[in-house]
Structure formats: C-alpha cells, structure tokens
Amino acid sequence: MASSDNCLRLYNDNPEAKISFTSWMFFSLPNAIICLITGWLWLQLFFFGVKKFFSCFGRGNTVATKRDIKVVHDVISRQYRELGPMSFAEKVVLFNFIFLVALWLFRSPNFIPGWADLFPEGYATDGTAAIFVATLLFVWPSERPNFLCLASPSDTSKPGPKATVITWSTIHEKLPWSVVFLMGGGYALADGVTKSGLSNDIADLLIGLQALPSWLLIGLICLMVAALTEFASNTATATIMIPILAQMAETLCIHPYYLMYPATIASSFAFMLPVATPPNAIVFSYNLVKISDMAKVGVVMNLLCVIIVTVFVNTYGYYVFGWSEFPEWGVTNPSNHSCFEATKNDTSRLL
C-alpha cells in the first residue's frame, strides 16, 4: 500500500500508474515462494551440512535421525495441543482477515470490475478496506452472543451485550504508535526528497549507470537497497528510494516499475542483523543465535534473493507486465520528451 500511494503521488494520481493489490501479488507471490524455498535449502545446508542434508532424502535413516524426528514431532504436537480449540474471538479475527484480503484482491482486479468501481475514481483505496475492517472489529463481539438462536445451549448467563474484539483502551495501550509515526515520517521524508530536488540530484549522479546492462543495473539497485534496509526499516527505505528511482527511470528512459518493483521487494531482505527488522530482534532475544551466525547466513540469503529478483524481473516481470516501453505517465516533467524521441521498444539493454 505504501508503494502504491507513493506512486500515485509521484504521478499526479494518474489511474494508469496505480498498483492494485492483485497485480502486486501476481508479481511478488511467485518470487516470494522461490525465495522461501531457496532460503530453506540454504539454512538446511548451513546448519546440517551437505552430507546430513542429503541423507534425509535417503532410505536408510539412522536410529539417531529417527529419534530426532520423533522428538521434534512430539514437541510440535504437544505445543499444538496446548493451544486448545479456537476461541470465538480468534474465529472472528480470522474471518475479518480473510474478508480484508478479499477486499484487497477484488478492489480493482483489472480482469473483472472491482467493488471500487461503485465509487468515484480514487475514492476507495487499499487503505479504505483496511480502515473499514479495523472498524468492524470495534463492533464484533469477543464472545458468542447469548440471545435468540445464537445462544449456546451451555450458556446460562443473562442475555446482554458482549465486549467487542477491540476496544479503544486496547488500542490506546497496545497499538505500536511508533509504527504509525514511522510510516508517516517515511511519507514526509519521501515527499521532502522529491520537493527539495534531492531525488533529481541523486538521479543525475547515477546517470553513469546507463552504460550498464539492465540486469546488472537491477542487481546493483537491489544490493544497495538490501544493504540500506539492514539499518533502516523497510518502509522508510522503500519510501525514500521510490522517488529517487522514479527520477532515475525517467532520466534513463526505463519503465519506472522495472526499477521500483525489485527495489521495493529488496527492502524486505533484512536477514543479517537483529536491528534490521522486528522478527530478527525477536529471534535474537532468545539468546540461541549469535550475531555472527545471523550475519553469515544473512549475507548469503541477501545475495541469493537479489539474484532471484533480478532474474525474475528480467524474465517474468519484463515480458508479462510489458516493462519494455517507457510509459507516457512516467514523465513527471512536462518539458521532458526525450524518452519518446528515442526508440520506445529498446530491448538491447537487456542483452
């Protein structure tokens, strides 16, 4: 959503420049699956070694291996039983989450009319769906209602209103407001990068990269973003880089999304340091993993994922999404028509 909002602001709310949840998932989901499988294979090889890794696929597992498998199975089974059955509140949250994903998918799916078409252009966004579902959680009861046919036979309590799933006191005490300020600050910083002309200056400094093949250019951008996101949040990294890449794409006459999509995905490649992302900090807090182990595993993960994204963009993304031509909406400076004077469909940069 952050990337979509940034793109719309950069290109003056041009509907042709919008990124729908469906189109983004259509591009990023296959890439994420490949990165996930690759990451699993790398972790297996790093921690278990080549010999033990391939022995898992053999027929003759040792007694020790079978015992280890049974221990892991017993631990997972015990923890699963301790969870108990799903509560009514958990079922409500799951239903609303599925409902939210459905609203995102069918807002503007492009292949069929979406529910956003019922409203004026630009009136309904992905943020609209998120706020709507969040508001519903202030209405849904946290326990099964005990009136009419909704009442449980075992519920003998007096009929009356139940507490809602979310209350304002819960929001006030537990909502990570720092994330809200972080995202708001990221938007302000990205707007400042554009309005101050810093994005133009940085793009001019990077003009020398036009001599590089596009696949190498994408790889260098992803490496730079992945290194930056190890020390800054992925939201801040993406919001800062998007306007710079937009100006760079216009300068080099490259489709903006050809640079923005891989850079946005690379802003989530925070695998090396505990401070890179909250999940890393949670794992590190158990004192079972050293920083050196995270760094050694993470640097290879970064390189592998950057290679996957680079290949993915130059094959699947380039030909399926039509990123071979510089679009008319990509011109932020009306006086700049140099991209249309050159050949539009220049595929030589990919060779």
DSSP symbols for 68-98: HHHHHHHHHHHHHHHH-SPPHHHHHHHHHHH
Consecutive 10-residue averages of pLDDT for the chain (351 residues): 55 64 83 92 83 63 67 87 88 93 84 82 82 92 74 67 84 77 71 74 73 86 88 78 82 84 89 79 78 87 93 84 75 61 47 45
pLDDT of residue 138: 92
Half-sphere exposure at residue 105, Cβ-oriented, CA atoms within 13 angstroms: 8
Q: How far is CA 30 from the centre of its chain?
A: 13
Q: Which two tokens stand for residue 175?
A: 């909502």
Selection from 178, 191, 180, 332 nearest residue 250 by Cα: 332
Q: Which residue has the tokens 């959503």?
A: 1
Which CA distances in Å does 46 have to 40, 227, 228, 309?
A: 10, 22, 25, 22
pTM (global) more than 0.75: no
Give pLDDT, residue 350.
44
Q: Which residues contact 18 (CB under 8 A, 6 or more apart)?
A: 4, 7, 8, 108
